[in-house]
Amino acid sequence: MITPTDIENKEFSKAKKGYNEEEVDEFLDLIILDMEKLIRENRQLKEELGKVHVQVDKHMSTETSVYETLEAAKSLMNDIAASAERRAEILLKNAEMEADLITREAKESIARYTDEGNRLKDRVESLKERYKKMLEAELERVDFGVSDFLADFEKDFLPASLTDVNEVSQIVSPEERGKDGQEPSVDLTKTMVNIR
């Protein structure tokens, strides 16, 4: 690349019919000024471009970091969602198992209480039947027993009373007999008391 110094130090050979040396020098001076200006601008633009490259690199690394962060966040969200789903499934299964256990226990309790209720019902019916038979037997005994009771009473007590009366009449002397010759009256209550 030609520098302004190269242009300034350039020596041209002289020919017979050449250009005017002063015009060429003035034109070259203008070119040198423009060229120095262009070189400064170029240097300045390169510096700015370098800064822009640094910023772009910085932004690229930031963007990469942002993308990596987003990917990590996505992955974490997926992990959290999967974990929450697994936990929900476990909780649901536990709840279903607990509900099945409670239902089974309730059914067993119902069956047990139903059986116990049926047994108690049968026992009550049996007791009622036995009590009814016992009452009916007592009623029959009382119904039939009244006439038997009276017959037994007559059989057990009256003959004994009559026997006592006959014995007393045999034991009673003729003096104790009344003037009219009849047997004295016997107090049966005393006889019945004696029998007891």
Residue 19: per-residue pLDDT: 76
pLDDT in tens, 72-117: 999 999 999 999 999 999 999 999 999 999 999 999 999 999 999 9
What does the CA dihedral 155, 161, 163, 168 come to, rounded to 10 degrees?
Answer: 180
pLDDT band at 22 (very low <50, low <70, confident <90, very high): confident
What single DSSP character describes residue 19?
A: -
Query: 149 or 49: whose pLDDT is higher?
Result: 49
- Please provide the average confidence, as pLDDT, over all residues in the chain: 78
Q: What does the alpha-carbon distance between residue 151 and residue 158 come to, in Å, rounded to a whole number?
A: 10
Q: What is the pTM of this model?
A: 0.35
Q: What is the 8-class DSSP label of residue 70?
A: H
- Residue among 37, 30, 34, 28 nearest 6 (CA): 28
- Where residue 126 falls among pLDDT bands split at 50, 70, 90? very high
Spatial neighbors of 164 by CB under 8 A, at least 6 apart, are 186, 191, 194
DSSP 144-183: HHHHHHHHHHHHHTHHHHHHHHHHHHHHS-TTTS-TTSPP
pLDDT classification of 190: cutoffs 50, 70, 90: very low
CA 7 to mean position of chain CA atoms: 96
Q: Would you state the pLDDT for residue 179?
A: 56
Question: 195 pLDDT band (50/70/90 cuts)?
Answer: very low
| For residue 196, pLDDT beyond 80 | no
Residue 23 CB-half CA count within 13 A: 3
Give the tens place of pLDDT for each residue, 24-77: 888 888 888 888 899 999 999 999 999 998 888 888 888 888 888 889 999 999
Contacts of 194 (CB under 8 A, 6+ apart): 164
The per-residue pLDDT for 61 is 82
